[in-house]
Amino acid sequence: MDMTAVVCHGPKDYRIETIRRPEPKDKELLVRVGACGICASDRKCWSGAGMFWDIPWVKAPVVAGHEFFGFVEAAGPGAEEHHGVAVGDMVIAEQIVPCGTCRYCRDGQYWMCERHDIFGFQRGVADGGMAEYMIYPANARVHKMPADLPLEDAAIVEPLACAIHAVERGTIGFRDVVVIAGTGPIGLFMVQVAALLTPKTLVAVDLSDERLALAKRYGADVCINPSRDDAIQVVKDLTDGYGCDVYIEASGAPAGVTQGLQMVRKLGRFVEFSVFGKETSADWSIIGDRKELDIRGAHLGPRAYEVAIDLLARGKVTSDGIVTDTYALGDWEAAFERSATMEAVKVLLVPGTA
């Protein structure tokens, strides 16, 4: 039996193809894809960004897509018991497929797996969700979702989990002034999650007034557009000249790094989340000699999927206003183009739609 998929063959060489539908083996799940989001990293991979192709990390040809959910269509021997799900369940797999044997996996730090197979980037091991069907392998980390969770909510569990992890890395307290730089989809989820922690002041920074309006709706106390206002000075004015306690970089722009180093106070916490398309640089003496900052990375969404599903199910976080567009698989080129515009926030590919 055949299926339709978006297959990555190389930089700027993605194709809509008819390929063989996979069959589940031992402890594997065949999943009918409900939707797959387009991430900024998908666009960077398509464009040929070095971090994807210089090593090379991507093993093409591979079905693209890592922001997916679906329904268990069939289960290989022992798969239902192994993953704790049944045929018909709505399920999501975390974006990383950990090897289970490296030092990080053995220590429970599976999201830093040395082999680091990610759905949508490594052929055969973890073909992605821009397809009608996909396999969740035996070593996938699978989570069941409530059957009544709307498609738009189910489709954004992965970026929401990433946002939760990044916010948790900031160890936000009640007295903190928190800045989230970049209000793309994940930045907007960061705003929603950070607002649940009730910091003293929550600040959103972005060049888009429309996205800042969403951030305000989601709980930001102050919104700054650096094209009009001196963002660093505004934050210093809010903090008696000291600077923010926590700065979360989610813009993906090199200027977001240098801005944050200037904006965060001495002994503050700088959380770096973004995936950059090229190397960026900064004055490292700010980190050590001048401010003694805590620099914390945030990678993927470890131990956050169940939290994300729960927050959505309880209405504490919403996809409303974030999921802006849906496209059929065959229209993936238009979907990629749309996702790169400021008017679109999160764009979904939905198999089976015309």
The pLDDT assigned to 89 comes to: 98
- Per-residue pLDDT, 250: 97
Sequence letter at residue 47 = S
Mean pLDDT of the chain: 96
Mean pLDDT score, 259-268: 98
pLDDT at residue 195 is higher than 70: yes
Q: What is the pLDDT of residue 114?
A: 96
Q: Tell me the backbone φ, ψ of residue 245, rounded to 5 degrees.
A: -80, -40
Provide CATH code, domain 2-156+319-349.
3.90.180.10
Summarised one tens digit per residue, pLDDT across range 331-342 is 999 999 999 998
Residue 354: per-residue pLDDT: 62
Q: Does residue 182 register a pLDDT over 90? A: yes
pTM of the model: 0.96
The string of pLDDT tens digits covering residues 67-125 is 999 999 999 999 999 999 999 999 999 999 999 999 999 999 999 999 999 999 988 77
* Cα dihedral: 51, 96, 215, 33 (round 10): 110
C-alpha dist (Å) from residue 199 to 44, 72, 191, 271:
33, 40, 11, 16
Q: Where are the domains of the chain?
A: 2-156+319-349, 164-297
CATH number for domain 164-297, candidates 3.40.50.720, 3.30.70.960, 1.10.10.10, 1.20.1530.20: 3.40.50.720
210-242 per-position pLDDT tens digit: 999 999 999 999 999 999 999 999 999 999 999
The gap from C-alpha 213 to its chain's centroid, in whole angstroms, comes to: 21
Q: How far is CA 189 from CA 239, 262, 330, in A?
A: 24, 24, 28
